[in-house]
Amino acid sequence: MLSRKAQGATRKTILYYKWSLQLFEDFSISKKILALEAIGPRLLREYLVEAQKRVKLTSVRTYYRAVKEFFSFLM
């Protein structure tokens, strides 16, 4: 999250990223995926499909954006 602060993200944005990433982490753990190296496109797609059952599509897109930003940061 330090990189987001350095880019000028607001506190609210950083909290949203943390929350969104926690949701993805919880989903990954529920699927017995415990290592970053084990996460792939299929898991992300499953997560997004599952999220669509609970929230609006605009929220799903923001979840995706948070996960995408995180993995871009890792690269």
Which has more confidence, 49 or 75?
49
Residue ranges per structural domain of the chain? 2-74
Under the banding of pLDDT at 50, 70 and 90, the label for residue 9 is confident
Under the banding of pLDDT at 50, 70 and 90, the label for residue 7 is low
pLDDT, one tens digit per residue, over 13-70 is: 888 989 999 999 999 999 999 999 999 999 999 999 999 999 999 999 999 999 998 8
pLDDT for the residue 20: 94
Q: Would the pTM count as exceeding 0.85?
A: no
Residue 47's alpha-carbon distances to 5, 34, 35, 56, in angstroms, are: 27, 15, 16, 14
